[in-house]
Structure 1
Amino acid sequence: MVKPPVWTRNEIESPCVQICVIHPAERICTGCYRTIEEIARWSRMEPEERRTIMQELPSRAPKLAKRRGGRAARLKR
């Protein structure tokens, strides 16, 4: 039996790393740092708008780097 080809998106300049989890407080993807709105509109954006967003993505990463709470925080009490 011949397997059908795997579906892939034919989009240029996509920052997607296939880790699609939206951070509940920051409302950005933990994999690519795009907002939900940016992800939804990505395939309809002009290349220049995509490039602008991609330049901004590294500055969004620190928003997710700090973790508050969790087991370590509970043990400090």
Structure 2
Amino acid sequence: MAYIHITDLELAINYWRQHEPSVDGISLPGHTRVLAEIYAHMVYSRVTRVDEKYVPEAALSAWRLWYATTPDTPCIAICSTSQGDAVCKGCGRTFEEVQLWPQMTPVEKRAAWRRITDEGTAWRFNKYAERAVEGFGALSNQ
């Protein structure tokens, strides 16, 4: 099963609020409205994720359009799975996720993104971020 997390709905809603603002400050334009209906139901039901098969097509379409504006892959071009690691040190994806990424659905990809972001152990989240800050600091001191 592929699930959409509530925070991804929030991101999509905020994207559409910015790109299709309310004309009167009260009513919600189409994309925002269909996503907000799912979001409200989730909040009311106190759930943090919803199986994509239960998301109405209009909301799923709005979510997919938002998704198309996000980075597709967490890859940082340092793939340790090619060296035999079960989990890539660079991006945090499993060997299977790296291999199947082109065939994965947007919902499956977002689930992988959520997992690696929550774990925060991949180099994309620490070693290179630290180096960038260190490099910026060194440049600003010159």
TM-score normalized by the length of structure 2: 0.32
- For the structure 1 residues 63 and 15, does the alpha-carbon distance in structure 2 shift closer, same or farther, using more than 3 Å as the test? closer
| Residue number among 85, 88, 107 corresponding to 1:29 in the alignment | 88
Question: 1: CA distance between counterparts of 2:110 and 2:99?
Answer: 16
Select the structure that is richer in strand. Answer: 2
Alignment of 1:1-77 (within 5 A): 13-22=72-81, 27-62=86-121
- Which residue is 1:70 aligned to? none
SS at match of 1:15: coil
Partners of 2:112 and 2:87 in 1: how far apart? 13
Larger radius of gyration: 2
d(CA) in 1 for partners of 2:122, 2:110: 21
| Cα distance in structure 2, aligned partners of 1:37 and 1:46 | 14
Q: 1:63/1:30 Cα in 2 relative to 1: closer, same or farther (>3 Å)?
A: closer
Gaps of 5+ in 2: 1-70, 127-142
Contact 1:42 1:50 in 2 (8 A): yes
Aligned-pair CA distance for 1:63: 8.1
Counterpart of 2:101, as a letter, is W
More helix by share: 2
Identity %: 30
- Alignment gaps of 5+ in structure 1: 1-11, 66-77
Do the aligned partners of 1:13 and 1:51 also contact (CA within 8 Å) in 2? Answer: no
When the two chains are superposed, the root-mean-square deviation of aligned CA atoms in Å is 2.8
Q: Please give the TM-score of this superposition, normalised by the length of structure 1.
A: 0.55
What is the aligned partner in structure 1 of residue 25 from structure 2? none
The SS at the match of 1:59 is helix
Instruction: Sort the Cα spacing of 1:41 and 1:24 in 2 relative to 1 into closer, same or farther, 3 A.
Output: closer
Q: Which consecutive aligned stretches of 4+ in structure 1 deviate over 4 angstroms post-superposition?
A: none
